[in-house]
Each structure stands twice: as structure tokens, then as C-alpha cells.
Amino acid sequence: MTLPTDARLSSLDRMLDDSQVGDTFATDMFAVVDALEASPTLRRAVTDPGTPEGARRALVHGLLDDKVDRAVADFVAETATLRWAGGRTFAAALERQAVRAQLIVADRRGDLEDTEDQLFRFARLVESSPDLRNVLADRAIDRSKRQELVGELLRGRATESTTVLVKRAVAARERTFGYTIEGYVTLAAAQKNRVVATVRVAKPLSSDQRDRLRAALTKQIGREVAIQEVIDPDILGGVRVELGDEVFEGTVADRLEEARRLFG
């Protein structure tokens, strides 16, 4: 069966939502992705469009049964029956669902919003520290050592799901650590049908300001908004809101720049 990319991902989202996602589902899925990434031969075997769907399904079960959770084996086997552009695309799709599985667990535990916020904050911490950012990006350092480092930084300060996902983001195979975490935050918001708005302000918003801004943005885009606040001294005053590719300016600096353009 061939589906457009977006439709295929939506289909996998629905399939995962209908699965029995246990506490180890994400960990087992990440292990499957690692195995696929390590073996081009395996990736080709489970995604070869010339192999009948039933044979691909049977191959996956032969490899995974009794090694991972049954729900994981079933999910990977059904995913393998779809037509993929290549083995890496298949592995990336499984990685996305593994992240979603961990977020489902966080939601079930009642700490999804905390996990979302902690992921965002930790990404900001890394971005503001060139030394830490460089260490996490250094592939010459064993991945397990880099994961141990972030584990120590988060110990006692984060939910279990945050720690699992931050450690996973260290791999950042296709993107930087920061962009990988950004993707996780977006998926966390989507779990509750929300979108993420990055709000840059000169000083922290009050609870009332956050509530009014959230209500205004929700009304404007027609979806619930999760606000992630960034203190940025360059803002000077007002607020800068980033919603995906859209930027809404309402800052003193922006108004000064506009004045300079008018009278310069």
C-alpha cells in the first residue's frame, strides 16, 4: 500500500494511539531503530517493495518476537508493510513513533506538560552554553558518555520521560541536538492538539499576561497554544511571538527600528 508521506505518518499516529503502549514501548522501539540504523542490509530487507507484505511482516516478527514487547513487534511489522522511500525513512518514522510513545506514557503519568516545558528549558540551556553544546555534538565522544552527562544534569530535576527523551536526542542523527528537542516539544504539544508559541520578552510575564496572551493567540489561530517563554534582553520591551514560521512583533526595539526606517 502506497500513501503520501503526511498521510502515512498520520496513519502511523493513529495506529500507535490504538496500540497498547506500555512503559517500555519507547525504549524497545528506540532499540529497533538503532538496529536498523546499524544495518543497511536489514533496512533493505524489511522495506524492499519487491517482497510481499506478508513476507516482510513475517520477517519482522521472526527478528523481534520474544526480544521486544509484543505490541512493539506488531507495530513494526505493520509499519513494514507500507511502502517507504528507503530504509532510513522507515527508521525515522519509527523513531518519531517511539518519541510519541514516551510522550503518551508521560501523559498517562500526568506529567506531559512538565516534560514539554523541561525539554524546552534544557534545549535553551544547551543553546546558551557553547561548551555543553559542542560536547553533545561531538561524535568523537562515545554516545553513552554524552548521555550520562545529560542524565547527571537532569538528575532530580526532570521527569523520567524528559530524561529518556533528552538522552535520545543526543543521537541527533539528521539534525542538531537543539532542533531534535524542538521536534520533541512540538510533538508533546500536538499530543494535546496544541501548537507551540515561543514568546520572547525582556522580563518574565505575569500569570495574567500569560493567560491573556494565550487566549489571544488561541483565538487568532483557532487552536490551543502552549507558550514557551524566553527572556531576551534584546527585546527591550513588549513581546515577540514565534509560531512556526510566523513571527509577530510587538517590541520597543521593533518600533524603534520602524522609526529609523521611516526617518533614516
Q: Going residue by residue through the chain (264 aa), what tens digit of pLDDT does each one get? A: 444 567 888 899 999 999 999 999 999 999 999 999 999 999 999 999 999 999 999 999 999 999 999 999 999 999 999 999 899 999 999 999 999 999 999 999 999 999 999 999 999 999 999 999 999 999 999 999 999 999 999 999 999 999 999 999 998 777 889 999 999 999 999 998 888 888 888 888 888 888 888 888 888 888 888 888 888 887 777 788 888 778 877 765 665 566 556 555
Instruction: Look up residue 129 and give its amino acid.
Output: S
Cell matching residue 175: 539534525
Closest by CA to 224, choosing from 215, 232, 237, is 215
**Contact criterion met (CB below 8 Å) for 76 and 33:** no
Count CA atoms closer than 13 A to 24's CA, side-chain side.
10
Q: How many CB atoms lie within 10 A of CB 250?
A: 12
Query: What would the grid cell of residue 214 be?
Result: 494565550
pLDDT tens readout for residues 129-138: 999 999 999 9
Predicted pLDDT of residue 259: 56
Cell of 182: 524542538
Partnered with residue 227 across adjacent β-strands are 197
Q: What is this structure's pTM?
A: 0.84
CB 72 within 8 A of CB 29: yes
